[in-house]
C-alpha cells in the first residue's frame, strides 16, 4: 500500500468555454487502494478521472501514473494500464458482438489470436458474462452492458480501474451485483460517484471535491459521518 501509483500535483484545468473545472488539485493513490471521488454535480470528479489516461491534459500541474508523466510518448502504455469505464456503456460498446468489443484492446496491443481469445475469455469470466461472446452488446440490459464495458478494459490487463458513476441507471439488484463484482476485482480502483451507499460499502478512502478543489480526503467512515461537511457541499449521508 506504500507504492504511489498515481501522483497528482497542483493540477488545474479550464475548459475552452472558460469554465475552471479543477483548481490546484494534489493527491496520491497507493497500489491496492479503492478510492471514491464524491461531490455535487460540476465538482470536477469526471474531469479529474479523465486526466488519468490522457483524455484530458493540462499544462497547469503534473500527473504521473506508475512513475510516468502523462505525455504523448507514454500514452499508449499508460492507457493499457489505466482502464477507464465511462458512465454510459454505449460510449464504450461499438462492435457487432461482445467478443469484438472485448477483443478490441488486445488486438490493438498486438496480441496473437490465441492470446486475444484467452484475454476475452478471462475478462468475461471476471464480470460474470461467460458465454456472451456472440451476443450483440446493443441488445443487452443496462447492467449487462456495464459488465461488458468493464470487460473491455479488463482484457487489457490494467493495474488501475477508473470508473465514472458505475451504478447509475441500475435497478437495485443490478446495482448490488455490480458492487460485489467490483469488490472482487484485485485492482487499484478509483470511482467517481453520487452513490454514497456504494462508497460506504466498497471504498476505504473518500475524496470530496467541490468547485474543482479537494475539500476533504480521508477514511470513508470519517468523511461520510461528518454531516455538516456533507451538507455544506450538497450531499446527504447514506441511509444507515
Q: What is the model's pLDDT at position 159?
A: 95
Mean pLDDT (the chain, rounded): 94
User: pLDDT tens, position by position, for the chain (240 residues)?
Assistant: 468 999 999 999 999 999 999 999 999 999 999 999 999 999 999 999 999 999 999 989 999 999 999 999 999 899 999 999 999 999 999 999 999 999 999 999 899 999 999 999 999 999 999 999 999 999 999 999 999 999 999 999 999 999 999 999 999 999 999 999 999 999 999 999 999 999 999 999 999 999 999 999 999 999 999 999 999 999 998 876
Cell numbers that stand for 178 in this block: 455490480
pTM for this one?
A: 0.93
The residue extents of the domains of the chain are 4-232
Q: Which fold has domain 4-232?
A: Rossmann fold (3.40.50)
Amino acid at each position: 500500500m506504500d507504492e504511489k501509483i498515481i501522483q497528482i500535483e497542483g493540477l488545474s484545468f479550464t475548459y475552452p468555454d472558460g469554465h475552471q473545472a479543477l483548481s490546484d488539485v494534489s493527491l496520491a493513490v497507493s497500489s491496492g487502494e479503492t478510492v471514491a471521488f464524491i461531490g455535487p454535480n460540476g465538482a470536477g470528479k469526471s474531469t479529474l478521472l479523465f486526466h488519468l489516461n490522457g483524455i484530458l491534459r493540462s499544462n497547469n500541474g503534473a500527473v504521473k501514473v506508475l512513475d510516468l508523466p502523462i505525455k504523448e510518448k507514454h500514452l499508449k502504455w499508460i492507457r493499457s494500464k489505466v482502464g477507464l469505464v465511462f458512465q454510459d456503456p454505449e460510449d464504450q460498446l461499438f462492435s457487432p458482438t461482445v467478443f469484438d468489443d472485448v477483443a478490441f484492446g488486445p488486438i490493438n496491443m498486438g496480441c496473437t489470436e490465441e492470446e486475444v481469445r484467452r484475454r476475452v475469455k478471462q475478462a468475461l469470466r471476471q464480470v460474470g458474462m461467460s458465454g456472451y461472446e456472440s451476443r450483440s452488446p446493443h441488445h443487452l440490459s443496462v447492467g449487462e452492458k456495464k459488465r461488458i464495458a468493464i470487460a473491455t478494459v479488463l482484457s487489457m490487463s490494467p493495474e488501475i480501474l477508473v470508473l465514472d458513476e458505475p451504478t447509475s441507471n441500475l435497478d437495485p439488484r443490478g446495482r448490488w451485483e455490480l458492487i460485489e463484482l467490483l469488490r472482487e476485482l484485485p485492482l487499484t480502483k478509483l470511482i467517481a460517484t453520487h452513490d454514497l451507499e456504494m462508497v460506504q460499502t466498497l471504498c476505504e478512502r473518500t475524496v470530496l471535491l467541490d468547485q474543482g478543489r479537494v475539500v476533504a480526503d480521508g477514511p470513508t467512515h470519517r468523511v461520510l459521518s461528518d454531516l455538516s461537511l456533507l451538507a455544506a457541499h450538497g450531499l446527504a449521508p447514506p441511509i444507515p
